Amino acid sequence: MSTAVRIAAFVAAVVAVFATALVVGRGIGPIGDNGEGAEAMDHTSAGTAPEGAESAEDAMEDAMEVPGGLMVSSGGYTFDLGQQTAAPGTGVPLSFRILGPDGEPVTGYDVEHAKELHLIAVRRDLTGFQHVHPTLATDGTWSTDLALTPGDWRLFADFKPTDVDALTLGADLPVAGRYQPAASPGESRTSAVDGYQVTIDGELVAGTDSRLRLTVTKDGKPVTDLEPYLGAYGHLVALREGDLAYLHVHPDGTPGDGTTEPGPAVAFVAEVPSAGAYRLFLDFQHDGVVRTASFALSAEASEAAEPPEPSDSTPTESTPFESTPSESGHNGH
């Protein structure tokens, strides 16, 4: 046996001894732990999970809850666009069907937010937002017109088949032509549209009901005679930047409930699934015209998650309405 081979054999033997010691050490570790390990095992076997495990379970549950609008087919229902591309234009006809679990077009819908189906169209760079209400033919075909510019568009159908949970399906619609993608504006809390200025107050926090308040002014004066639109003084759509997840937002208060004023402030409750950038679009009606204001907000991580890195920016002071408990309560639907 050469020296080299003998050294190699010795090294292998030493490694084997250490590996065995490691395995044995791991095996007896908890038992030889003066009862502490045994106690912990009793604790676990009794079904009481340690605190950390519970929040991890919650986080797992949250992770499995897929936001709306990311799928073209879900729960047996399919958003059937019937066309793969569209030409640009201001009055581009679009028709589509929602196919049910049996593959047939769905013809029965429940009214939600005053309509049987809400169609949201937005270019993937989050410009050109439109919220329209197509008309339903007896054969289950929905029809509407859209104003489309060149680029990749995303369409969302928000509806509730009769006797089934509401759902939002999403489908891509590429529009031919050259275009320059718009950059994200970063945080943007004010929006000017047709002489109106709309501001948004409140913070989005991942995984919690976040209260948002939008305030409408015109020529510097508060607008106090907003008109009901879709059963509320505003309709807010929130989309996550990056994948355009379509988020659940509902108004906090209903016109005519005795506490909800017709402006200048409109309150909403939004639940965002994660930290990150979100774009919000508010449709509001005044003087018979529906207008859309848009905003960009950054959602914070939930308190249950790891604390975020200290950031350079000073946290925004809480606005009065945040610390005031809700008077009207959530107006769920």
CB of 199 to Cu ion, least distance (A): 23
Which stretches of the chain bind Cu ion, using CB under 5 A?
A: 118
CB of 94 to Cu ion, least distance (A): 15
Residues with Cβ within 8 Å of 58's Cβ and at least 6 positions away in sequence, in order, are 304
CB of 133 to Cu ion, least distance (A): 5
Closest to Cu ion by CB, 97 vs 118, is 118
CB of 230 to Cu ion, least distance (A): 6
Token pair for 330: 């959530």
* Exposed e or buried b per residue across 113-140, where buried means at least 16 C-beta atoms within 10 angstroms of its C-beta: bebbbbbbbbbeebebbbbeebebeeeb
Closest to Cu ion by CB, 118 vs 279, is 118
CB of 117 to Cu ion, least distance (A): 8
Closest to Cu ion by CB, 74 vs 292, is 292
Q: C-alpha angle 141/145/146, rounded to 5°? A: 125
Closest to Cu ion by CB, 69 vs 276, is 69
Hey, CA dihedral for 199, 288, 246, 165, is it positive or negative?
positive
CB of 193 to Cu ion, least distance (A): 18
Q: Rounded to the nearest 10 degrees, how much is the dihedral formed by the CA atoms of 112, 78, 97, 90?
A: 80
**Residue whose CB is nearest to Cu ion in the complex, by number:** 118
**How do beta strands 221-222 and 265-271 pair?**
unpaired
Closest to Cu ion by CB, 106 vs 232, is 232
Name residue 300's amino acid: E
Closest to Cu ion by CB, 118 vs 211, is 118
Q: Identify the bridge partners of residue 215 per DSSP, sorted by sequence position.
A: 199, 265
Closest to Cu ion by CB, 118 vs 240, is 118
Q: Rounded to the nearest 10 degrees, how much is the dihedral formed by the CA atoms of 41, 47, 50, 51?
A: -170
Coarse DSSP helix, strand, coil percentages of the chain, rounded to the nearest 5 percent = 15, 40, 45
Query: CA-CA distance, 29 to 96, in Å (whole number)?
Result: 64
Query: CA-CA distance, 280 to 235, in Å (whole number)?
Result: 10
CB of 177 to Cu ion, least distance (A): 27
Token pair for 331: 């107006």
CB 277 within 8 A of CB 242: yes
Closest to Cu ion by CB, 205 vs 230, is 230
CB of 143 to Cu ion, least distance (A): 15
